[in-house]
Protein backbone atom coordinates (compact mmCIF):
# COMPACT_ATOMS: atom_id res chain seq x y z
CA UNK A 1 0.00 0.00 0.00
CA UNK A 2 1.15 3.56 -0.74
CA UNK A 3 0.70 5.69 2.39
CA UNK A 4 1.10 9.46 2.69
CA UNK A 5 1.80 10.69 6.25
CA UNK A 6 1.10 14.34 7.11
CA UNK A 7 1.95 16.67 10.00
CA UNK A 8 2.08 20.48 10.05
CA UNK A 9 5.19 20.51 12.23
CA UNK A 10 8.50 18.69 12.62
CA UNK A 11 8.05 14.91 12.50
CA UNK A 12 10.59 13.98 15.18
CA UNK A 13 10.66 16.60 17.93
CA UNK A 14 7.49 16.15 20.02
CA UNK A 15 5.30 13.28 21.21
CA UNK A 16 3.07 13.46 18.14
CA UNK A 17 6.12 13.75 15.89
CA UNK A 18 7.66 10.63 17.40
CA UNK A 19 4.28 8.91 17.00
CA UNK A 20 4.31 9.68 13.27
CA UNK A 21 7.96 8.69 12.84
CA UNK A 22 7.50 5.37 14.64
CA UNK A 23 4.42 4.54 12.56
CA UNK A 24 6.40 5.30 9.42
CA UNK A 25 9.23 2.99 10.50
CA UNK A 26 6.87 0.17 11.45
CA UNK A 27 4.84 0.50 8.25
CA UNK A 28 8.08 0.36 6.27
CA UNK A 29 8.98 -2.92 8.02
CA UNK A 30 5.65 -4.29 6.85
CA UNK A 31 6.47 -3.44 3.24
CA UNK A 32 4.40 -0.30 2.64
CA UNK A 33 5.68 2.47 0.37
CA UNK A 34 5.50 5.85 2.09
CA UNK A 35 5.88 9.60 1.82
CA UNK A 36 5.83 12.34 4.47
CA UNK A 37 4.58 15.92 4.36
CA UNK A 38 5.86 18.00 7.29
CA UNK A 39 6.53 21.57 8.30
CA UNK A 40 10.27 22.13 8.77
CA UNK A 41 13.02 24.72 8.44
CA UNK A 42 15.41 24.69 5.45
CA UNK A 43 18.38 23.81 7.66
CA UNK A 44 16.68 20.89 9.47
CA UNK A 45 17.97 17.34 9.17
CA UNK A 46 14.92 15.10 9.56
CA UNK A 47 15.57 11.46 10.45
CA UNK A 48 13.27 9.24 8.41
CA UNK A 49 13.92 5.94 6.63
CA UNK A 50 15.86 6.67 3.40
CA UNK A 51 13.21 5.16 1.12
CA UNK A 52 10.49 7.51 2.40
CA UNK A 53 9.71 10.33 -0.03
CA UNK A 54 9.75 13.83 1.43
CA UNK A 55 7.36 16.63 0.51
CA UNK A 56 8.41 19.23 3.06
CA UNK A 57 6.78 22.61 3.59
CA UNK A 58 9.49 25.11 4.55
CA UNK A 59 8.92 27.87 7.09
CA UNK A 60 11.05 31.02 7.44
CA UNK A 61 11.02 31.33 3.65
CA UNK A 62 9.48 33.74 1.17
CA UNK A 63 6.43 31.47 0.90
CA UNK A 64 6.03 31.15 4.69
CA UNK A 65 7.91 34.07 6.32
CA UNK A 66 7.23 33.01 9.91
CA UNK A 67 8.03 30.18 12.32
CA UNK A 68 6.45 26.71 12.24
CA UNK A 69 2.92 26.72 13.65
CA UNK A 70 3.06 24.54 16.77
CA UNK A 71 0.17 22.48 18.09
CA UNK A 72 1.34 23.35 21.61
CA UNK A 73 1.67 27.00 22.50
CA UNK A 74 5.17 26.18 23.75
CA UNK A 75 7.27 24.02 21.45
CA UNK A 76 10.84 22.70 21.88
CA UNK A 77 11.88 24.84 18.89
CA UNK A 78 11.00 28.28 17.51
CA UNK A 79 7.30 28.30 16.67
CA UNK A 80 4.24 30.39 15.94
CA UNK A 81 1.21 30.17 18.24
CA UNK A 82 -1.91 29.45 16.17
CA UNK A 83 -4.10 31.95 18.00
CA UNK A 84 -1.67 34.77 17.11
CA UNK A 85 -1.76 34.08 13.37
CA UNK A 86 -3.16 36.91 11.25
CA UNK A 87 -5.50 36.35 8.30
CA UNK A 88 -2.54 36.82 5.96
CA UNK A 89 -0.44 34.24 7.83
CA UNK A 90 -3.33 31.78 7.90
CA UNK A 91 -3.86 32.17 4.16
CA UNK A 92 -0.13 31.68 3.50
CA UNK A 93 -0.17 28.54 5.67
CA UNK A 94 -3.22 27.06 3.96
CA UNK A 95 -1.94 27.90 0.48
CA UNK A 96 1.46 26.29 1.13
CA UNK A 97 0.01 23.06 2.52
CA UNK A 98 -2.70 22.83 -0.16
CA UNK A 99 0.00 23.13 -2.81
CA UNK A 100 2.22 20.47 -1.22
CA UNK A 101 -0.62 18.01 -0.54
CA UNK A 102 -1.89 18.32 -4.12
CA UNK A 103 1.66 17.81 -5.39
CA UNK A 104 2.08 14.67 -3.28
CA UNK A 105 -1.31 13.31 -4.39
CA UNK A 106 -0.30 13.68 -8.05
CA UNK A 107 3.34 12.54 -7.79
CA UNK A 108 3.17 9.93 -5.05
CA UNK A 109 -0.35 8.59 -5.83
CA UNK A 110 -1.21 7.42 -2.28
CA UNK A 111 -3.80 4.76 -1.54
CA UNK A 112 -4.25 6.14 1.98
CA UNK A 113 -3.49 9.38 3.84
CA UNK A 114 -2.65 9.38 7.57
CA UNK A 115 -2.80 12.93 8.95
CA UNK A 116 -1.84 13.91 12.48
CA UNK A 117 -3.88 16.29 14.66
CA UNK A 118 -7.57 16.95 14.15
CA UNK A 119 -6.81 20.49 13.13
CA UNK A 120 -6.05 22.75 10.19
CA UNK A 121 -3.63 20.68 8.12
CA UNK A 122 -5.79 17.54 8.43
CA UNK A 123 -8.80 19.56 7.30
CA UNK A 124 -6.78 20.73 4.29
CA UNK A 125 -5.73 17.14 3.58
CA UNK A 126 -9.35 16.01 3.49
CA UNK A 127 -10.28 18.91 1.20
CA UNK A 128 -7.48 18.04 -1.26
CA UNK A 129 -7.62 14.24 -1.13
CA UNK A 130 -10.49 13.66 -3.52
CA UNK A 131 -11.48 9.98 -3.33
CA UNK A 132 -8.38 8.96 -1.33
CA UNK A 133 -9.31 7.85 2.23
CA UNK A 134 -7.99 10.16 4.96
CA UNK A 135 -7.53 8.98 8.55
CA UNK A 136 -6.97 11.61 11.24
CA UNK A 137 -5.09 11.08 14.51
CA UNK A 138 -5.96 12.99 17.67
CA UNK A 139 -3.07 13.98 19.96
CA UNK A 140 -4.92 16.10 22.55
CA UNK A 141 -3.21 19.41 21.70
CA UNK A 142 -5.58 19.71 18.74
CA UNK A 143 -8.58 19.56 21.09
CA UNK A 144 -6.97 22.24 23.23
CA UNK A 145 -6.54 24.48 20.18
CA UNK A 146 -10.19 24.03 19.23
CA UNK A 147 -11.29 25.04 22.72
CA UNK A 148 -9.03 28.05 23.08
CA UNK A 149 -9.73 30.13 19.94
CA UNK A 150 -11.71 30.25 16.72
CA UNK A 151 -9.10 30.18 13.92
CA UNK A 152 -10.81 28.59 10.89
CA UNK A 153 -13.17 26.80 13.30
CA UNK A 154 -16.03 26.21 10.84
CA UNK A 155 -13.67 25.01 8.11
CA UNK A 156 -11.87 22.64 10.49
CA UNK A 157 -15.08 21.19 11.96
CA UNK A 158 -16.58 20.63 8.49
CA UNK A 159 -13.60 18.72 7.09
CA UNK A 160 -12.69 16.80 10.25
CA UNK A 161 -16.30 15.58 10.34
CA UNK A 162 -15.81 14.25 6.79
CA UNK A 163 -12.72 12.14 7.62
CA UNK A 164 -13.02 8.48 6.71
CA UNK A 165 -11.71 7.43 10.13
CA UNK A 166 -10.57 9.17 13.28
CA UNK A 167 -8.17 7.61 15.76
CA UNK A 168 -8.32 8.60 19.44
CA UNK A 169 -5.68 7.59 21.97
CA UNK A 170 -8.25 6.35 24.48
CA UNK A 171 -11.97 6.30 25.16
CA UNK A 172 -12.05 9.53 27.19
CA UNK A 173 -10.46 11.36 24.28
CA UNK A 174 -13.02 9.80 21.95
CA UNK A 175 -15.79 11.40 24.00
CA UNK A 176 -14.08 14.79 23.76
CA UNK A 177 -13.88 14.43 19.98
CA UNK A 178 -17.61 13.73 19.84
CA UNK A 179 -18.26 16.89 21.86
CA UNK A 180 -16.13 19.11 19.60
CA UNK A 181 -16.82 17.74 16.12
CA UNK A 182 -20.05 16.69 14.33
CA UNK A 183 -18.67 13.25 13.58
CA UNK A 184 -20.36 9.86 13.66
CA UNK A 185 -19.20 7.74 16.60
CA UNK A 186 -18.88 4.68 14.36
CA UNK A 187 -15.96 6.32 12.54
CA UNK A 188 -13.87 6.87 15.69
CA UNK A 189 -11.45 4.10 16.65
CA UNK A 190 -8.95 3.74 19.48
CA UNK A 191 -5.30 3.60 18.48
CA UNK A 192 -3.38 3.57 21.76
CA UNK A 193 0.39 4.05 21.64
CA UNK A 194 3.52 1.99 21.17
CA UNK A 195 7.18 2.28 22.14
CA UNK A 196 10.53 1.28 20.69
CA UNK A 197 11.57 -1.78 22.69
CA UNK A 198 14.98 -1.89 20.99
CA UNK A 199 15.91 1.45 22.58
CA UNK A 200 13.80 1.56 25.73
CA UNK A 201 14.50 -1.51 27.83
CA UNK A 202 16.08 -2.49 31.12
CA UNK A 203 19.87 -2.65 31.38
CA UNK A 204 19.72 -6.45 31.63
CA UNK A 205 18.03 -6.57 28.19
CA UNK A 206 20.42 -4.16 26.54
CA UNK A 207 23.71 -5.07 24.91
CA UNK A 208 26.45 -2.72 26.04
CA UNK A 209 28.79 -1.23 23.45
CA UNK A 210 32.32 -2.70 23.35
CA UNK A 211 34.43 -1.13 26.07
CA UNK A 212 31.47 0.69 27.60
CA UNK A 213 31.73 1.25 31.35
CA UNK A 214 28.50 1.59 33.30
CA UNK A 215 28.62 4.10 36.12
CA UNK A 216 27.58 2.79 39.52
CA UNK A 217 25.32 5.39 41.11
CA UNK A 218 24.40 6.05 44.69
CA UNK A 219 21.25 7.54 46.12
CA UNK A 220 18.03 8.18 44.21
CA UNK A 221 17.68 9.79 40.81
CA UNK A 222 14.38 11.36 39.75
CA UNK A 223 13.86 12.19 36.08
CA UNK A 224 11.41 14.33 34.12
CA UNK A 225 11.25 14.24 30.31
CA UNK A 226 9.32 16.76 28.24
CA UNK A 227 9.22 20.44 27.42
CA UNK A 228 10.49 22.52 30.32
CA UNK A 229 7.30 24.54 30.68
CA UNK A 230 4.61 25.43 33.18
CA UNK A 231 2.02 23.34 31.31
CA UNK A 232 4.17 20.21 31.65
CA UNK A 233 4.42 20.80 35.39
CA UNK A 234 8.18 21.42 35.44
CA UNK A 235 7.92 24.35 37.87
CA UNK A 236 5.58 22.42 40.18
CA UNK A 237 7.92 19.42 40.16
CA UNK A 238 10.84 21.57 41.26
CA UNK A 239 8.76 23.27 43.95
CA UNK A 240 7.64 19.85 45.20
CA UNK A 241 11.27 19.17 46.10
CA UNK A 242 10.81 21.52 49.09
CA UNK A 243 8.09 19.24 50.44
CA UNK A 244 10.07 16.10 49.59
CA UNK A 245 13.12 17.42 51.44
CA UNK A 246 10.93 18.14 54.47
CA UNK A 247 9.50 14.59 54.36
CA UNK A 248 13.06 13.25 54.23
CA UNK A 249 14.00 15.19 57.35
CA UNK A 250 10.92 13.97 59.22
CA UNK A 251 11.05 10.31 58.11
CA UNK A 252 14.32 8.49 58.90
CA UNK A 253 13.16 5.32 57.10
CA UNK A 254 12.52 7.27 53.88
CA UNK A 255 15.82 9.08 54.28
CA UNK A 256 17.69 5.80 54.66
CA UNK A 257 15.85 4.30 51.66
CA UNK A 258 16.44 7.26 49.36
CA UNK A 259 19.95 8.30 50.32
CA UNK A 260 20.91 11.45 48.46
CA UNK A 261 18.36 12.64 45.88
CA UNK A 262 18.96 14.43 42.60
CA UNK A 263 16.41 15.66 40.06
CA UNK A 264 17.13 15.62 36.32
CA UNK A 265 15.04 17.45 33.72
CA UNK A 266 15.45 16.29 30.11
CA UNK A 267 13.87 18.43 27.42
CA UNK A 268 14.02 21.67 25.48
CA UNK A 269 12.64 25.02 26.53
CA UNK A 270 9.42 26.58 25.30
CA UNK A 271 9.08 30.26 26.11
CA UNK A 272 12.52 31.69 26.99
CA UNK A 273 11.21 33.92 29.75
CA UNK A 274 9.26 31.06 31.28
CA UNK A 275 12.29 28.77 31.05
CA UNK A 276 14.46 31.36 32.78
CA UNK A 277 11.89 31.57 35.57
CA UNK A 278 11.93 27.80 36.01
CA UNK A 279 15.73 27.86 36.20
CA UNK A 280 15.51 30.43 39.00
CA UNK A 281 13.09 28.21 40.94
CA UNK A 282 15.62 25.38 40.57
CA UNK A 283 18.38 27.53 42.05
CA UNK A 284 16.40 27.71 45.30
CA UNK A 285 15.64 23.98 45.47
CA UNK A 286 16.95 22.09 48.51
CA UNK A 287 17.44 19.08 46.22
CA UNK A 288 19.96 19.52 43.35
CA UNK A 289 18.35 20.00 39.92
CA UNK A 290 20.19 19.29 36.66
CA UNK A 291 18.92 20.51 33.27
CA UNK A 292 20.00 18.01 30.60
CA UNK A 293 18.55 19.74 27.53
CA UNK A 294 16.98 17.79 24.69
CA UNK A 295 18.43 14.30 24.43
CA UNK A 296 18.50 11.86 21.50
CA UNK A 297 16.33 8.80 22.11
CA UNK A 298 19.25 6.51 22.98
CA UNK A 299 20.70 8.98 25.50
CA UNK A 300 17.26 9.49 27.05
CA UNK A 301 16.90 5.73 27.44
CA UNK A 302 20.29 5.60 29.19
CA UNK A 303 19.09 8.30 31.59
CA UNK A 304 15.92 6.36 32.33
CA UNK A 305 17.97 3.25 33.11
CA UNK A 306 20.16 5.24 35.49
CA UNK A 307 17.10 6.73 37.22
CA UNK A 308 14.74 5.34 39.82
CA UNK A 309 11.57 7.42 39.52
CA UNK A 310 10.13 9.07 36.43
CA UNK A 311 7.80 12.04 37.09
CA UNK A 312 5.44 13.76 34.64
CA UNK A 313 3.24 16.24 36.56
CA UNK A 314 1.66 17.61 33.37
CA UNK A 315 -1.54 19.67 33.29
CA UNK A 316 -2.63 18.20 29.96
CA UNK A 317 -1.75 14.98 28.10
CA UNK A 318 -3.20 12.44 25.70
CA UNK A 319 -1.20 9.29 26.40
CA UNK A 320 2.38 10.30 27.29
CA UNK A 321 4.84 8.13 25.39
CA UNK A 322 7.60 9.12 27.81
CA UNK A 323 5.71 7.32 30.60
CA UNK A 324 5.72 4.01 28.71
CA UNK A 325 9.38 4.42 27.74
CA UNK A 326 10.42 5.08 31.34
CA UNK A 327 8.47 2.05 32.59
CA UNK A 328 10.17 -0.09 29.94
CA UNK A 329 13.55 1.00 31.32
CA UNK A 330 12.59 -0.15 34.82
CA UNK A 331 11.53 3.13 36.46
CA UNK A 332 8.68 3.61 38.84
CA UNK A 333 6.48 6.48 37.67
CA UNK A 334 4.52 9.37 39.16
CA UNK A 335 2.02 11.11 36.86
CA UNK A 336 -0.94 13.45 37.00
CA UNK A 337 -4.20 11.51 36.99
CA UNK A 338 -5.45 12.99 33.72
CA UNK A 339 -8.39 11.58 31.71
CA UNK A 340 -7.62 8.32 29.94
CA UNK A 341 -4.18 7.55 31.36
CA UNK A 342 -5.18 5.37 34.31
CA UNK A 343 -7.82 3.35 32.36
CA UNK A 344 -5.37 2.73 29.52
CA UNK A 345 -2.62 1.52 31.87
CA UNK A 346 -5.03 -0.53 33.97
CA UNK A 347 -6.17 -2.32 30.82
CA UNK A 348 -2.84 -2.63 28.98
CA UNK A 349 -0.23 -2.72 31.78
CA UNK A 350 -2.11 -3.69 34.96
CA UNK A 351 1.07 -4.38 36.95
CA UNK A 352 2.78 -1.05 36.12
CA UNK A 353 4.32 0.68 39.19
CA UNK A 354 2.57 4.01 38.59
CA UNK A 355 1.57 6.49 41.29
CA UNK A 356 -1.12 9.05 40.48
CA UNK A 357 -1.54 12.64 41.65
CA UNK A 358 -4.95 14.29 41.44
CA UNK A 359 -4.93 17.15 38.94
CA UNK A 360 -6.05 20.66 39.96
CA UNK A 361 -9.56 21.43 38.74
CA UNK A 362 -8.34 23.97 36.20
CA UNK A 363 -6.20 21.30 34.54
CA UNK A 364 -9.37 19.53 33.45
CA UNK A 365 -10.01 22.53 31.18
CA UNK A 366 -6.49 22.48 29.80
CA UNK A 367 -5.27 25.45 31.84
CA UNK A 368 -1.54 25.87 32.33
CA UNK A 369 -0.13 25.90 35.84
CA UNK A 370 0.20 29.67 35.72
CA UNK A 371 -3.58 29.89 35.57
CA UNK A 372 -4.17 27.51 38.46
CA UNK A 373 -5.63 28.54 41.78
CA UNK A 374 -2.60 29.08 44.09
CA UNK A 375 -4.12 26.98 46.89
CA UNK A 376 -4.89 24.09 44.52
CA UNK A 377 -1.43 24.34 43.02
CA UNK A 378 0.19 24.16 46.46
CA UNK A 379 -1.89 21.11 47.36
CA UNK A 380 -0.97 19.50 44.03
CA UNK A 381 2.73 20.02 44.72
CA UNK A 382 2.43 18.58 48.23
CA UNK A 383 0.63 15.50 46.90
CA UNK A 384 3.25 15.21 44.18
CA UNK A 385 5.97 15.05 46.85
CA UNK A 386 3.92 12.44 48.74
CA UNK A 387 3.64 10.19 45.68
CA UNK A 388 7.32 10.59 44.80
CA UNK A 389 8.14 9.55 48.36
CA UNK A 390 5.81 6.55 48.01
CA UNK A 391 7.52 5.53 44.75
CA UNK A 392 10.92 5.78 46.44
CA UNK A 393 9.73 3.78 49.44
CA UNK A 394 8.55 0.73 47.46
CA UNK A 395 11.99 0.26 45.94
CA UNK A 396 12.89 -1.34 42.64
CA UNK A 397 9.97 -3.19 41.03
CA UNK A 398 9.94 -5.88 38.32
CA UNK A 399 9.59 -4.39 34.85
CA UNK A 400 5.90 -4.61 33.87
CA UNK A 401 4.67 -6.65 30.94
CA UNK A 402 4.45 -4.17 28.03
CA UNK A 403 3.82 -6.79 25.35
CA UNK A 404 0.41 -5.32 24.47
CA UNK A 405 1.94 -1.92 23.71
CA UNK A 406 3.84 -1.84 20.42
CA UNK A 407 3.91 0.17 17.19
CA UNK A 408 3.21 -3.04 15.33
CA UNK A 409 -0.08 -3.36 17.24
CA UNK A 410 -0.91 0.30 16.57
CA UNK A 411 -0.34 -0.20 12.84
CA UNK A 412 -2.65 -3.23 12.84
CA UNK A 413 -5.34 -1.23 14.63
CA UNK A 414 -5.01 1.53 12.04
CA UNK A 415 -5.05 -0.65 8.95
CA UNK A 416 -7.31 -3.44 10.28
CA UNK A 417 -9.49 -1.81 12.98
CA UNK A 418 -11.94 -4.69 13.07
CA UNK A 419 -9.20 -7.12 14.11
CA UNK A 420 -7.07 -5.04 16.45
CA UNK A 421 -9.51 -2.58 17.99
CA UNK A 422 -8.76 -1.60 21.60
CA UNK A 423 -11.33 -2.36 24.21
CA UNK A 424 -12.56 0.67 26.12
CA UNK A 425 -10.85 1.07 29.49
Give the residue among 311, 333, 322, 215 at the shortest CA–CA distance from 263: 311
Residue 106 has a pLDDT of 97
Q: Is the pLDDT of residue 219 over 50?
A: yes
Give me the mean pLDDT over the 157-178 stretch: 95
Mean pLDDT score of the chain = 90
Give me the mean pLDDT over the 251-279 stretch: 91
Q: Is the pLDDT of residue 91 over 70?
A: yes
Residue 361 has a pLDDT of 76
Q: Is the pLDDT of residue 235 over 60?
A: yes
For 298-314, what is each residue's pLDDT tens digit? Answer: 999 999 999 999 999 99
Query: Lowest mean pLDDT: which of 94-98, 317-321, 390-394?
Result: 317-321
Give me the mean pLDDT over the 52-64 stretch: 97
306, with CB counted inside 10 A (0-12, 13-18, 19+), is: middle
Give me the mean pLDDT over the 82-86 stretch: 96
Q: Is the pLDDT of residue 181 over 70?
A: yes
Alpha-carbon distance of 241 to 262, in angstroms, equals 10
Give me the mean pLDDT over the 339-356 stretch: 91
Region 2-194+406-415: CATH code:
3.40.50.2000
Is-contact 48 31, C-beta < 8 A? no
Residue 271 has a pLDDT of 79
Read off the pLDDT band of 205 (50, 70, 90): low
Rounded to the nearest angstrom, the gap between the alpha carbon of residue 230 and the centroid of all alpha carbons in its chain is 15
Share of the chain above pLDDT 90, in %: 74
> Residues in the chain, how many?
425
Give me the mean pLDDT over the 224-242 stretch: 94
Q: Is the pLDDT of residue 354 over 80?
A: yes
On whether the 203-394 domain is CATH 3.30.2130.10, my answer is no
> In Å, what is the CA distance from 173 to each residue of 113, 118, 164?
22, 12, 18
User: CATH 3.40.50.2000 residue ranges in the chain?
Assistant: 2-194+406-415, 203-394
User: Which residues have C-beta within 8 Å of that of residue 131, sequence separation ≥ 6?
Assistant: none
156, with CB counted inside 10 A (0-12, 13-18, 19+), is: buried
Helices (H), 337-406: 341-348, 374-394
Read off the pLDDT band of 214 (50, 70, 90): very low
Amino acid sequence: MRILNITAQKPDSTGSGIYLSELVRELEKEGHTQAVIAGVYPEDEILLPPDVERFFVYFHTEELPFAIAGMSDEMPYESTVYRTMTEEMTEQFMTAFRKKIKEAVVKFRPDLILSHHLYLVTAIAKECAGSIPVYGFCHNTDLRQMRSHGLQRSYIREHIAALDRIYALHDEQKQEILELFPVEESRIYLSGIGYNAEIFCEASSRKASPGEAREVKEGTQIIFAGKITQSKGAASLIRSMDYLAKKMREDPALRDKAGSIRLFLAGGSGNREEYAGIRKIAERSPIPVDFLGRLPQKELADRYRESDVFVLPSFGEGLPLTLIEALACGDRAVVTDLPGIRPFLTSSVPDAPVFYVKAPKAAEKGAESGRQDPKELKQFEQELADQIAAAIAVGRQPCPDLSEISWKAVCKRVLCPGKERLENG
